[in-house]
Amino acid sequence: MTEVHTASARKINSIVHIILIISAIAMLIPFIWMVLTSLKTTTEATQIPIRYLPETPSLRGYTEAIKQSAFSHYYINTIFTAFMKTAFPVIFSSMAAYAFARIRFPGGTFLFALIISVMMVPNPVFYTPQYMMMSDLGLVNTVTALWITSLISPFATFLLRQFFLTISKELEEAAVLDGCNPFQIYWHIMLPLVKSALVAIVIIQLQWSWNELQWPLIINSSPEKMTLSSGIATLVSMFGTDYPVLMAGAFMAVVPMIVLFFIFQKQFIEGIAFSAHKG
């Protein structure tokens, strides 16, 4: 009886493995193809019958993408924007989240609901008025316009409040007796306790702003002010069907986030899973 049981369990196990391996390969195909194509010559990339591997891998795609486009600008703009759109929301959100979670004050529930309700609004609803605002301030086609509208994050506020709510009261009571003000309690006691949540939010914000397309596309049109995302989108019109150059550009745009992902994958994955669990 037990033997039959383990035999069937083993069979199911190997079926599961086969399904997972095939699916994992399918998920990876775009990455593999991106790298292979980026190393091919232009003719090899569109050859019929299809060519899997480049004859002699060439870096022409990479040098061409860098030489012909404002790639260094894309990089600098993206990194700077991602930094601004991560540092500020994390600081502001954690402060607000602490106040909403741990201090009862008049209007607190209403104001929290107000901030959270923004999460339900589709982003494009904001874009035209934000564009007009940037236009009034003379910020259209500037790097500032890329991040100035995103210095706060309702999502991060919501998530961090969930984390602050789970911390036991005794921890802050001692600090209150010592005469700490709420900001000191937040800074010295509470913030270190939600470090893992902060790391998760840093990663999520970085990823969002790194990958965002629509707003950069709307607000900036000169190559020097573009991000990698909008810059890559314009490569298509510059290089048309020179696929090795396009793939090289695409690869260079995704590599930083992928490297970051591999370094922090534990925090990346557990941060998200953990936050979902709490929510």
Q: Indicate which single residue of 6, 7, 10, 17 sits in contact with other proteins (rule: CB under 8 A).
A: 17
Residue 136: CB minimum distance to other proteins, A: 9
- By the 10 Å C-beta count (0-12 exposed, 13-18 middle, 19+ buried), 193 is classed as middle
**Alpha helices, DSSP H only, in 143-242?**
143-147, 154-165, 170-177, 182-184, 191-193, 195-211, 214-219, 228-239
| Token reading at 138 | 């003379």
Kindly indicate which of the ranges 58-66, 166-174, 189-197, 265-273 contains the residues binding other proteins, using the contact rule CB under 8 A.
265-273
Range 64-103, binding other proteins (CB under 8 A): 92-93, 95-96, 98-100, 103
Range 145-184, binding other proteins (CB under 8 A): 149-152, 154, 157, 176, 179, 181-183
Q: Indicate which single residue of 28, 59, 137, 171 sits in contact with other proteins (rule: CB under 8 A).
A: 28
Kindly indicate which of the ranges 62-70, 166-174, 190-198, 239-247 contains the residues binding other proteins, using the contact rule CB under 8 A.
239-247
Side-chain half-sphere CA neighbours of 129 within 13 A = 5
Toward other proteins, which CB reaches closer, 58 or 211?
211
Task: List phi, psi (to 5°) of 138.
Answer: 70, 30
Residue 225: CB minimum distance to other proteins, A: 16
2 binds other proteins (CB under 8 A): no
**Closest among 187, 111, 103, 190 to 154, alpha carbons compared:** 111
132 binds other proteins (CB under 8 A): yes
Dihedral angle sign, alpha carbons of residues 135, 154, 265, 22:
negative
Residue 21: CB minimum distance to other proteins, A: 9
Residue 143: CB minimum distance to other proteins, A: 17
